[in-house]
Amino acid sequence: MSNSLPPDLAASVARALAEDVGSGDLTAALVPAEVRGHGRVISREAAVICGTAWVDSVFAQLDPAVRVTWHVADGNAVVPNALLFEVQGPARALLTGERTALNFLQSLSATATAARRYVEAIAGTGCRILDTRKTIPGLRLAQKYAVRCGGGRNHRLGLYDGILIKENHIVAAGSIAAAVAAARRLAPGVPVEVEVETLAELEQAFAADADLALLDEFTLAELATAVARNRERARPLGLEASGGIDFDTIRAVAATGVDFISVGAITKHLRAIDLSMRLSFSG
């Protein structure tokens, strides 16, 4: 998947400004219209930056006269006190946009930073980190972009571009074989992944000729066995490990030989990066 910006970026920014500004910024209106400002934004901690285009869009939508000058790019790793960007223009627009711009930048940088941390934890194993659909409502595409900036990969964007047959789908369809057959019939050409909870269910996924298998809550020994059995097949499945995996155990999971590890915490357990904006005014 390319690292292109999400198509809903401008609309997402417009919604964020609407919920914050509403009918108008009453406090910024206290500042005379002719006053101009200059701001510098720094990171107070080490981070992987993501969200530059969202910041640009915030100020562009508020006032095209605002100029943003970046000293970093999405995907760059920064150290504490690094200068991220400078902004100058009408003071009212700077004051109104400050919070929304920083909300986007610190939240998306948090996702990119978490993704990079997990990617580095399994470096050299050949395994790849995947995200999940456990994203902030309304920010799905933005967070998926941030995962890519951090070096991770997107599992699927939503329910429309990939099939993951889970336990309840299997029960409703009657069996793994029936569920996979229905998927092939209804969505030809779309990759089909089956969640399995035991090695016996993995054998059923093999028999059904799925494309991928999600190994849910498997022990390290079970993962190693699953990898060994899969390698014996003429057409091996892609194997994804998920469930009960944290930062302390993820490298051992990767070392079993699975192809992917999905980590919901990257987008779900968000701790915003600590940023600071300092403004000065003239005129």
Give the pLDDT confidence score for residue 283 in this predicted structure: 76
Mean pLDDT score of the chain: 96
Strands in 192-196's sheet, in edge-to-edge order, are 128-130, 260-262, 238-242, 212-216, 192-196, 163-165
Q: What percent of the chain has pLDDT over 90?
A: 98
Give the pLDDT confidence score for residue 244 in this predicted structure: 87
The C-alpha atoms of residue 51 and residue 196 are separated, in whole angstroms, by 36
Give the pLDDT confidence score for residue 168 in this predicted structure: 94
pTM: 0.95
The C-alpha atoms of residue 89 and residue 183 are separated, in whole angstroms, by 54
Residue range 181-225, pLDDT digits in tens: 999 999 999 999 999 999 999 999 999 999 999 999 999 999 999
Q: Beta 212-216 vs 192-196: how paired, if at all?
A: parallel
Active site residues: 99, 134, 166, 195, 216
Residue 191 CB contacts under 8 Å (≥ 6 apart), including other chains: 162, 163, 211, 212
Give the pLDDT confidence score for residue 3 in this predicted structure: 83
Residue range 137-191, pLDDT digits in tens: 999 999 999 999 999 999 999 999 999 999 999 999 999 999 999 999 999 999 9
3-class SS at 95?
helix
The C-alpha atoms of residue 179 and residue 195 are separated, in whole angstroms, by 11
pLDDT at 112 over 80: yes
Residue range 73-101, pLDDT digits in tens: 999 999 999 999 999 999 999 999 999 99
Residue found by looking up tokens 């079970």 in the block: 222
Residue range 35-55, pLDDT digits in tens: 999 999 999 999 999 999 999
